[in-house]
Copies of this chain bind each other. A is one copy, B any other.
Amino acid sequence: MTVGIGDDAAVVEPQRGTLDVLTTDTLVEGVHFDQAFVSPADLGHKTLAVNLSDLAAMGAAPRVALLSLVLPDAMTANALDALVEGMLALAEQHGVALVGGNITRSTGPLVLGVTAVGSVRRRRVLTRSGGRAGDELWVSGALGAGAAGLACLQRDPPAAPASDTELTDCVEWYRRPAPRVRIGMLLGRNRTARAAVDLSDGLGDGLRQLTAASGVGATVDGSTIPIAPGAHRWFEHNGVDPLEAALAGGDDYELLVAVPRTHRRRFAAIRKLTRGVPFTRIGELTKAPELVLRTTSGNRPIPVGYEHFKQA
C-alpha cells in the first residue's frame, strides 16, 4: 500500500502481471443477520468472509478491502471495536490490508459493506462460464451447515445443544464461515478447474449460475452430495429432507467447480493440498440444458435458490 486510510482515497500498487478482481457485498440487519444471536465480532468476520468467498470463486488472491459501516445510534463503541477486530482477524489470516472505509450514521438497521480486491494471473481466472459438457462437478467441504446453524439460532433459546458438537460446528460455521481462498487459488493453477462458483446462496443456486453461464445442463447424484453430519441429523429431526435442505440452504461458502476429465490427475494432486477440506464428486455437466437430480426414488428437477432459509 502506498497511501492508506486518512487520505481522500487509498493508493495500492497492482501486482505485476496480474488482473484486479473486485467484489462488493453488503449485510443488512434484519435481512441477513439478527444481532440477537450473531455477535459484532462474528459480523465483522462474516462480512469480509462473504467477499473473500467471491474472490476465492475467481481463483484470486485477496489483497485489500474497503469497509462501509452504517451504524445505528444504539451501537456502542465496544460493539464497533469488536466488529472491526473480528474483521481484522480474518483479514490478517488471509494477508488482506484494510485500506479504506467510510463510517456513517444509520436512521435504521446496521448495514455492513465490504469491497474486496484481489489479484489473479490472466490464465488462472476461474469464471462461471468455462464449464463444458462432460466436466465433472465437485464441491468442497460439506453442505447444509450454514442453513442448519441458522435454523438452530432461530430457535428459543438460540443455540445448539452443547452435547451435539457436530451441530455446534454448524452454528459456528454459520457465524464464522471460512472462505475457501487457498483452494480457489490452487484450482486456478494450470487451469485445473474450468469453472467455479461459490455456494453463498446454496448448491441449487450455484448449479443454476454455473450451468446458465456455461450454456450447459447438469446431472447430480443426490446420494453423493456431502451433507454436514450435524446438519443432516438436525434436518431429519425437524422433518426436513436433508437433500432438499442442502440444495436450497445458503450460507455455505463452499466452492462448486467443473473439472475436465482430462485434468483428473492434476485435480487429485490439488486435493492433497487442501489441508483437510474434502472434495466430493457430485455429478457432471451435460449437453442437455436441464438440471437433473438423481435419487433412489427417481429423477427430479433441482430446487433452486435459497429463499427457503432466508430470514424474514
Contacts and interface: CB of A to CB of B under 8 A. Distances in A.
Interface range on chain A: under 10, 10 to 19, 20 to 34, or 35 or more? 35 or more
Nearest to A57: B8
Given A19-B12, A22-B12, A117-B22, A31 B100 contact: no
Nearest to A58: B9
A203 B81 CA distance: 31
A311 to B, nearest CB: 10
Contacts of A13: 19-20
B3 A70 contact: no
A11 B81 CA distance: 32
Interface stretch (A86-94, A107-115, A227-235): A107-115
Which secondary structure dominates where chain A touches chain B? strand
Contacts of A274: none
A23 B66 CA distance: 8
Given A9-B23, A22-B12, A68-B26, A106 B109 contact: yes
Contacts of A26: 68, 70, 102, 104, 111, 113
A127 interface: yes
Number of copies of this protein chain within its complex: 2
A101 interface: yes
Interface in A250-281: none
Interface string A1-24: 011001111111110001111111
Contact of A11 (B21, B24, B29, B70): B21
Interface centre among A113, A125, A196 (most CB of B within 10 A): A113
A70 B107 CA distance: 13
A96 to B, nearest CB: 13
B9 A57 contact: yes
Given A9-B55, A21-B10, A106 B104 contact: no
* Nearest 8 CB-CB pairings of A with B: A108-B108, A9-B23, A14-B14, A30-B107, A8-B57, A115-B115, A8-B54, A24-B66
Interface of A: 2-3, 6-14, 18-26, 28-32, 53-55, 57-58, 60, 64, 66-68, 70, 99-102, 104-109, 111, 113, 115, 117-118, 120, 122, 125, 127-129, 196-198, 213
